Amino acid sequence: MQMLGAVKDSLVGSLINLTGPGKYVHWGFIQISVANLVVIGLMVIVFFAAILIPFRRHGGRGR
Amino acid sequence: MTTGTETPVESGAGLPEDSHQLSAKLRGAAVAALPPERLMPDRQPAYVASWIYVFGALTLSALGVVIVTGLVLAIFGPSWWHLSTTGLFVNSLHMWSVEVFFFAMVVHLWGKFFMAAWRGRRRATWITGVVSFVVSVGAAFTGYLSQQNFDSQWVSTQAKDGINSTGAGAIFNVTNFGQMLMWHIVLLPLVVVALVGVHVLLVRLRGVVPPFAPPDAPATEAKGTPDSQGEVGPNSQAVPTEGRS
């Protein structure tokens, strides 16, 4: 069980290093954390994907 | 009124002489405004067949998980959610469902903004949605203050200057844990659920906003005014509903 936890920690740790202070982006008077910037970017991607990806229709009915 | 020998009225329509009662009038008005087939529709206009219409229902689903996990956290308390593995798991579910809630709500908001979803007598639908978003921000904020850890201490001491600068600090003290907890688990959830409930009922009442009509379309389609079924526009052929809004 302890070994499983260590494997999990190393896997997560290899993806994102959560040790240390947060990283921020400074652009003029705008300051935003990288984490928040990533979430906003994902929302923009999902928004355009939701518009562009065709919606599956049932049984050939609909438009 | 019925006696023991009379057959009870089973239709729910009541007796004619009771039609002046407040409950009968309210029931009649509610059924007239939102008949069952409109309250729980199994068909939607064809233009709803797009992923962008999924995010309203996704927001509602996430809100359901937020409420259920919040109830579980309230039952067992802080020592449970901080120290036990199950408590940590439910605590994480509560936090991540809030993340999904806001993520889906923002995409829903963007979609409705670019559709000008206030068209066709849907201003109240738009406004209740916007106010729900703002109140939800307050609910999430007081949630961060209620974590009972160093993060909540940091958030509260950072926020107090901002709140005090607005003049609201005298009645809304972010360093008062008891007050913030009550706002988080009683007041703001009640407001959010009430607003979301009205928002969904208005969606059912006015229908889902149609796409913008071509420039040469009739005026009714251009304004997006709902007809008796809440369906307008060139693509008003119905498709099955799967919880989209």
pLDDT tens per residue across span B180-204? 999 999 999 999 999 999 999 999 9
| Per-residue pLDDT, B137 | 97
Q: Which is more confidently placed, A18 or B139?
A: B139
In chain B, which residues have their Cβ closer than 8 Å to the Cβ of A55? 49-51
Residue, of B214 and B65, whose pLDDT is higher: B65
Residue of A nearest to B99 (CA): A39
What pLDDT score was predicted for residue B212? 86
pLDDT of residue A13: 67
Structure confidence at residue B42 as a pLDDT band (50, 70, 90)? confident
Q: Is B11 left (phi over 0), alpha (psi -120 to 50) or beta?
A: alpha
Q: B209: which 2 tokens?
A: 């906003």
Q: What is the pLDDT of residue B231?
A: 44
Tell me the average pLDDT of chain B. 85
Task: Sort out which chain A residues have CB atoms less than 8 A from B105's CB and list them.
Answer: none
Cβ pairs A/B, distance under 8 A: 46
Distance CA B134, CA B109 (A): 12
Q: How far is B43 from chain A, CA to nearest CA, in Å?
A: 10
What's the pLDDT score for residue B172? 94
Buried b (16+ CB within 10 A) or exposed e, B91-126: bebbeebbebbbbbbbbbbbbbeebebbbbebeebb
H helices of B115-245, in order, are 123-145, 150-166, 177-182, 188-206, 219-223
pLDDT at A7: 72
Helices B55-76/B188-206 angle, 10° precision: 150
B47 touches A at CB < 8 Å: yes
ipTM surpasses 0.90: no
With an 8 Å Cβ cutoff, is B103 touching chain A? yes
Residue B240 in this model has a pLDDT that exceeds 90: no
CB contact under 8 A, A58 and B240: yes
pLDDT at B233 over 50: no
Q: Do A55 and B51 make contact, defined as CB atoms within 8 angstroms? A: yes
Q: Does B64 touch chain A (CB under 8 A)?
A: no
DSSP B77: -
pLDDT in tens, A3-60: 777 777 666 666 777 778 888 999 999 999 998 999 999 999 999 999 999 988 765 5
For residue B243, is pLDDT > 70? no
Q: Is the pLDDT of residue B71 over 90?
A: yes
A62 and B237 in contact by Cβ < 8 A? Answer: yes
At A59 the pLDDT is 58
pLDDT at residue B228 tops 50: no
Most confident option among B64-68, B223-227, B229-233: B64-68
Is pLDDT above 50 for A63?
no
Q: What is the pLDDT of residue A19?
A: 75
pLDDT, tens digit, 9 for 90 and up, residues B109-125: 999 999 999 999 999 99
Confidence of residue B223 (pLDDT cuts 50, 70, 90): low
Q: Provide mean pLDDT across the span B65-69.
A: 97
